[in-house]
Each structure stands twice: as C-alpha cells, then as structure tokens.
Structure 1
Amino acid sequence: MEAPNRVPDGHFCLQVDEDEVTDHFICLGCRHGLVLIFHVRRLQVLVWDPVTGELHRVAAPPGFGAKERPISGAVLRAAGDIQHFQVVLVTTETDDQQHTRAMAKVYSSGSGNWGDILSTLLPSQASRHEIPTMIGIEFPAVLVGHSLYWLLTDSRDGILKFDLDRQSLSVIHVPVNIYAHGNWQFTVMRAEGGGLGGLFLSKFTAQLWKWKTGSDGVASWVLGKTIELDKLLSISSKKREPPMILGFAEDNNVVFLWTDLDVFTIQLQSLQFKNLGETNILSRYHPLESVYAAGMGIGGGRGGAELLPNT
C-alpha cells in the first residue's frame, strides 16, 4: 500500500542473531498483534510485533522447556494497553506415582518478572495412555472471555483452562466420544454469542459445540449447528481426502482447512468460505489479527502504523 499505510515488508521477517539462524524456533501463537515464539536452544520466549519490528526476549522459567515436557503458551495485552503484555506458559509433569499435573506461570512486562507457579492435578482418566499427558502443541491457545484454553494430548484427555482473573487451572472434558470416530479432529474456539465452543471434525462433517450453563447451574456441552463441508465447499468427498484443520483465527471465528491441495477459510457463523489457493506444504497456520491506523507507530517516525487502543 502507499504511504502512510505502507508497512515495510522487512518488518514481517524475524531478525535473529547470526548464530541463531539454524536454531529451532517454535511458534506458540498470535494475539493482539503480537507473536509468541519459543527459542528451544536458548530457552527463551520471544514476543514479536511484526508491524513495528519490536522484539522482546524473556528467559523461560525453570522447569519450562525441557525436551521431555513440551510447553505451550499464549501472549496477550489488556484492552487499551499497547505498552505492556503478558505471557502465560503451560506444561505438564508426571511424578514417580504417575500422577500428572499441569503447571503454569505468568510473565508481566510491567514488572519484568515471572509470577508464582500454578498447578493442578489432571484427572486420572487423563493418564490412560502409555505416554504421559501433555499440552497439545498442534493448536495454540484460544482466549475466551478472561480464560485461556489448550487441548491436552490428542484432545482425548480434555481441555486445560487457565482463568486469568482467578489465576487457576482446571480441566474440562471434550464434548463427544472421540474414540467412537475413526478419522477426527477437535479444536477449541469461541462460540457464537460468546463463551467457550468447540469444533469437532469427522471426515466431511463438522459439528459446532458450546459449553453452556443450565438453569441448575451445571455446565455441559450443547450441540449447535452441523456443517456438511463437502456440500458447503462444493467438493466431492469421493475424490478428496478429509479436511485437516490448519489453524483458527479467534477474533473472527475463522477456521483454516486443507483438503488435498487447497486451503479454505470458513467463517463459522456466516459459513462464508474462501479458497486461498493450492499448496502441497502442510503446516500449522497462526493468523495474525490486529488493527492499525496511519500514524506514528513504526520506528518512532511519521508515516508508519499505530496500534489502536482497542486492539
């Protein structure tokens, strides 16, 4: 785009030191215009603003980032605060008695420190596999209200909830008997009208679920709409492989799907879809959603982009 709306393309290339070029970096997710990246060798979390090019490096706390205990995390900013951010890291740990607990720590850029460790024991049924239950790293966290949600191993064991206000961890069961389905996928999402939701995908059928509290005060999953993807996308299920979930844009409730060589986006409320084209490279998508306006945001000079307070 022309100035003042142009953002230099170099800002979308992460600048690292020469000795880091061959290092292993893991993208943990995007939110509020920021990207959270884990630097495996240095045990650092990187908080990067691709538009302004600003990069923060924070040492991971002890116990987070070990090879045998993969971590996940999330970055977020309070409404109206574009100067500070928070990072939440989560991992799991199994003791000698095979009791598995989830652990979390929160970093505040305002104080420059990690908070106290928070933990909760995972349900016993969450440890029925040969491998210990871990945080699923296939999909990033989803922010719903004032809570973050992650899938546990293969999403069979449940959903880990971190309440930002109460600073507490808990586990919610998944809405369907996943073991009854041969080819399935599940991801957490924001439900229509707000609240926690889930997208369950079995072959070419998608189900939208909502975590809802009844009149008795008990919360449970309620099935919303069912989507026949082959009909919606006008594709033949006989000629196509079942779709694969590549990513989810939480602010706009848009899911990214891959089937054969095509990548589709579907807005889950309006069911509007778009074909983004062909690709034979399978990878996870981390949609970057933000709102910028012409102003003084980039490099401290005019003609850049400035983050709006309500991003």
Structure 2
Amino acid sequence: MDSPNRVPEGRFSYEHTGNGCFIPFGCRHGLQLIFHQSGKQLHVRDPFNGDKRRLPVPPGFDGWETPISGAVFRAAGDIQHFQVVLVGTERNNQHHTRVIARVYSSETGIWGNLMSTPLPPKASSSMDQHPTKIRMWFTISVLVGHSLYWLLTNISAATNMLDGILEFDLERQTLAVIPVPVDIANNCLSQFQVMQAEGGGLGIFFLSKFSAQLWKMETDSDGVASWVLGRTVELDKPLSLNPEEEESLIIGGFAEYNNVVFLQTPTNFFMVQLESLQFKKVSKSNSLTRYDPFESVYVAGTGIDGGHDGAEFFRNT
C-alpha cells in the first residue's frame, strides 16, 4: 500500500552522519523521539510525512556523564503541536542524588522550568548522606492515564537491578519515584514492564521464569497506595517453549496503545495481549535486542508545526 496507509521504511532509519550515535526515546501520538548524543539534540520526527524538528538539549542534561531519557506526546485534541518531557539525574560526588525534568512546548518554542525530586536511598545506605547509586539508567517511557512512567535502574549493579519507577504527572507537572513491589524488587530489569493495569491505573508485568505476574497499584480508603498482585499467567505451554528458551525468556518491547508486551528468546519473538491474554509468535529471532513499536492512526493534513527560536524545522522531500 502507498502512504499514508503504509509508511516508507526509510523514514524510520537514522541519519548516518558518522559523528555519534542516535538513541530512540520512544514513539507516541504519531511522533518519534530520538536523542542525538554527540550533537546534544533531540529529534522529533513524523514518519508519515517525513517532517522533523531538532531541539537543543537544555543545560543540565548531559547524556554522557549522567543518563537522560525523554517522551514525546500531543495534548488531547491538539493535532498540530507537541510537547517533549526530558528527564535526567544530578550527581554529587559520583552519586546520583536527584531526578530532574523539563518540558518543551512546540507551541511556545521554549523549555519550561526545571523540576526535581530526590532519589530514595537504598535500605543498606539509609544513614548515608547520599544514596549509593553510581550509574543510573532509564527505560523507554509508558503513558498510563495522565502520567508518564520510566523504569529506573542501577546499571552499576551486576545484573541491572530495578531501582524504582519514575512518574511524571502531566497535569500537575510533578515528579515522583515509586517503589516496586517488595516481593519482586530484587530482579533484573529485563523481567519488568510498566503497563496499564486491568481496569486502569498503573500496573507492572513481571516475568518470573515460566510465568508472568500482573501487579496493580491500588489506593485504600485512607489514600494509601500499595501494590496488589492480580493474575499469574503460565507462559510455557501457550508459547510452546523448549527447555532452552524457558531459561532465556525476556521482555523485548511494549506497545502501550494496545497493551501488548513482546517476549523474546534467542530464537523466537512473541507478542501477548495483556487484556485478552492472546499469544502469537511474531517472527524468528537470532539475537536479543529491544524493540520500539510504532502505533498510530494518521490523519491527513497533520504534521509537526512550524519552527520556533531554538528549534530547527526541516522536511524530507
């Protein structure tokens, strides 16, 4: 099929300039966000019509010494403008102490004020002045309700242990770090996926060998939020895994609109719809990598709006 029913493959490829790597920060509302690390730029792209915008990374967000991540989105009902949330960490004496964030609006063409929240210390170092977090990293964001969420991991640990969930509330413009359920906290990042829980709200898909646990954040009558385990789903029989695959099953991606998690082994790639629990083998695989699904419905005449000061606009022809 021709565009717009089918997007040309080349519009998802990165520019090969030979001067640094391009890191995908995810897709949402028909837009793709990419970080050009050496150029210290964020690229917002519309794969349907080829429009692109380059945004300079604001001061305080390094991308080399301290990790950054971001998310692009459109406000409800606004098909012309977009916003970008950029998150990162601050360090003090080699320790990450705070998570910081700023929001860019294409309508105004400027970055908003800096926001921050402290990183909670580890239990073993609660009496220390700074938390013992030497190398932090963020996953690709997930939009649930009116908040964006990132898994926050300490990559200085030997197994990339999950350290918490970063929440950015789009309505309140606030940051918070949410602890993960204590029963599953000490596990590898590749076993976790933030998702929309059954009935709405924040949820976690946790992969535990041959089964998946679906957790949900619930609030009691006193306003206290806590994690509750919902369903546990056996995976070995529906996926028809052989013994070698059962030992190496990891999460390979997530599609937030359709609430679909992608599971991967060294030889196969599967998708699981979390509401219906329908399973499907997507393709063969010969490597373990992370996939960034693109989900969108294109409306003719939409695109990225015109440029502003500080943002460079250009279009593919």
Q: TM-score range by the shorter chain?
A: 0.7 to 0.9
Q: Which position in structure 1 is the counterpart of 2:309?
A: none
Match of 2:23 among 18, 23, 26: 26
Match of 2:260 among 237, 249, 254: 254
Q: What CA distance in whole angstroms lies between the structure 2 residues aligned with 1:192 and 1:141?
A: 19
Question: Structure 1's 44 and 218: CA in aligned 2 closer, same or farther, altered over 3 A?
Answer: same
Runs of 4+ in 1 over 6 A off after TM superposition: none
- Equivalences for 1:111-122 in 2 at 5 Å? 111-122=108-119
Residue 201 of structure 1: how far off its partner (Å): 1.0
Q: Which position in structure 2 is the counterpart of 1:309?
A: none
Q: What CA distance in whole angstroms lies between the structure 1 residues aligned with 2:78 and 2:86?
A: 21
Q: Which position in structure 2 is the counterpart of 1:188?
A: 194
Q: What CA distance in whole angstroms lies between the structure 2 residues aligned with 1:152 and 1:43?
A: 22
Q: Which position in structure 1 is the counterpart of 2:49?
A: 52
* Alignment check: 8 A CA contact 1:48 1:55 kept: yes
Match of 1:171 among 162, 166, 177: 177
Q: What CA distance in whole angstroms lies between the structure 2 residues aligned with 1:84 and 1:3?
A: 22
Percent identical residues: 58
Q: TM-score, normalised by structure 1?
A: 0.86
Q: Residue 87 of structure 2: SS of its match in structure 1?
A: strand
1:103-137 superposed Cα distances (whole Å, 9 cap, x missing partner) = 0010000011000100011112279586426232x
Q: What CA distance in whole angstroms lies between the structure 2 residues aligned with 1:86 and 1:237?
A: 45
Question: Structure 1's 10 and 123: CA in aligned 2 closer, same or farther, altered over 3 A?
Answer: closer
Matched, 1:277 2:283: yes
Q: What CA distance in whole angstroms lies between the structure 2 residues aligned with 1:79 and 1:158?
A: 28
* Alignment check: 8 A CA contact 1:73 1:141 kept: yes
Q: What CA distance in whole angstroms lies between the structure 1 residues aligned with 2:188 and 2:112?
A: 42
Q: What CA distance in whole angstroms lies between the structure 2 residues aligned with 1:36 and 1:97?
A: 29
Q: What CA distance in whole angstroms lies between the structure 1 residues aligned with 2:241 and 2:247?
A: 10
Q: What CA distance in whole angstroms lies between the structure 1 residues aligned with 2:149 and 2:63?
A: 22
Number of paired residues?
Answer: 293
* Alignment check: 8 A CA contact 1:100 1:133 kept: no
Instruction: Calculate the aligned-residue CA RMSD, in Å.
Output: 2.6
Q: Which position in structure 1 is the counterpart of 2:81?
A: 84
Matched, 1:151 2:151: yes
Q: Which position in structure 1 is the counterpart of 2:121?
A: 124
* Alignment check: 8 A CA contact 2:262 2:269 kept: yes
Matched, 1:212 2:209: no
1:176-218 superposed Cα distances (whole Å, 9 cap, x missing partner) = 3346668971121111121100011121221000011112221
Q: What CA distance in whole angstroms lies between the structure 2 residues aligned with 1:124 and 1:8?
A: 47
Q: What CA distance in whole angstroms lies between the structure 1 residues aligned with 2:234 and 2:70?
A: 33
Aligned partner letter, 2:81: H
Where structure 2 has 5 or more consecutive residues not aligned to the other structure, the ranges are 126-130, 154-159, 305-317
Q: What CA distance in whole angstroms lies between the structure 1 residues aligned with 2:188 and 2:100?
A: 31
Q: Residue 152 of structure 1: SS of its match in structure 2?
A: strand
Aligned partner letter, 2:247: E
Question: Structure 1's 224 and 84: CA in aligned 2 closer, same or farther, altered over 3 A?
Answer: same
Aligned partner letter, 2:36: H
Q: Residue 232 of structure 1: SS of its match in structure 2?
A: helix
1:118-172 superposed Cα distances (whole Å, 9 cap, x missing partner) = 0011112279586426232xx3111111111111114532111111111111111
Q: Which position in structure 1 is the counterpart of 2:100?
A: 103
1:247-306 superposed Cα distances (whole Å, 9 cap, x missing partner) = 11011110011113100000011111111111213221111110125x45689xxxxxxx
Aligned partner letter, 1:72: S
Q: Residue 124 of structure 1: SS of its match in structure 2?
A: coil
Q: Residue 158 of structure 1: SS of its match in structure 2?
A: strand
1:22-65 superposed Cα distances (whole Å, 9 cap, x missing partner) = 53100011111111100011100000111111100000001213
Q: TM-score, normalised by structure 2?
A: 0.84
Q: Residue 137 of structure 2: SS of its match in structure 1?
A: coil
Aligned partner letter, 2:71: A
Report the more deviating stretch, 88-97 or 107-116.
88-97
Matched, 1:39 2:36: yes
Q: Residue 292 of structure 1: SS of its match in structure 2?
A: coil
